[in-house]
Structure 1
Amino acid sequence: MKPSTRGTLAALATGVAAALGAAATPASASGTVPVPVPLEGVEHSLNMEVPTLSAELPLPVPGAPDGPRHVEGRLLPDRALPQVPVSTGLPGAQLRAPLPRLLGDQFDHLGVEVPAADVRALAPGLTLDAPLTPPDPDNFGLPGLKLPQAGVLTPVLQTVPGADIAMGPGL
């Protein structure tokens, strides 16, 4: 294969990879995927105003677990089963519904907006310790006996949800 053909193929492959990467970036960069709910068909078939609705679905992103750590005086490392962090979000939604006025042909609207909220979670973990002590020089280098220990690292969940309800003139 000629060097010019190789260069052309390399440039083409680079362009395709860049285009695919750019197409995938918006959804993964925002952390949510917009989901429009099409209600126009209902509006035209019933010949009346219907609410507009859209939603945002979060993309969960697992993090790197905090690995086991050696602790002096223990035979097994601390956090034998490490906690795994997960970042995601609560789903968001926007709803705008028409409210007919009692007198006249005009409409007001009721709007509800629930933005997607970030959620940080930490999966439960496990910590264990063996029923033996470290080697004891006073006991000819043999380990002593002790009670085994086991503990569960509690899960963590952090979020701050919110909502906005508004009412006003017009659609």
Structure 2
Amino acid sequence: MSKKQLSITILCMAFAAMVACKAKPSDTQIQAKVSEQLSTMPEVTADVKNGVVTLAGNVADDATKASAEATVKSTEGVKSVVNNIMVTPAAPPQAPAADTATTATTNPADDALRTGVANISKDFPGADVKVDAGVITVTGQLSAPKWKTLKQALDALHPKKVDASGLNVK
């Protein structure tokens, strides 16, 4: 190999090494960029680990969920996106309080709340979710991220209270 060929080879190798060593954004830098991009969607949270962004929260429609994911995917340094955002339509208005002497054994407001809870809780095996008198009671066992997502979805239903005292969060 001639000196000229050797010089060109070394130059190419040095250039390739420089390109390969280009600093990639850290998780902290990615988190800052993603948080800024999602600032118009306060109901959506994002966590970054090794360049993988996990989205959580509750939105009113599929378009908002897809928009959040598309926005984050375009961020420099993002390797992939895990979209755990839940679509939770707005809760129906609660029925006015009725006289307890004329109230039937089932409360229509609880029925609407039960329907919302059933739609949400099906995605959370390990959690048993019940509704009584406008209070949602959660028992069982969930991981901390799953509980956070479930809690946000349940809060969006506007119950009187969410009682998780019987829930084991691991």
- Structure 1 length as normaliser, TM-score? 0.20
* Larger Rg belongs to: 1
Q: Which has the higher strand share?
A: 1
TM-score of the aligned structures, taking structure 2 as reference length: 0.20
Q: Which has the higher contact order (CA 8 A, sep 6+)?
A: 1
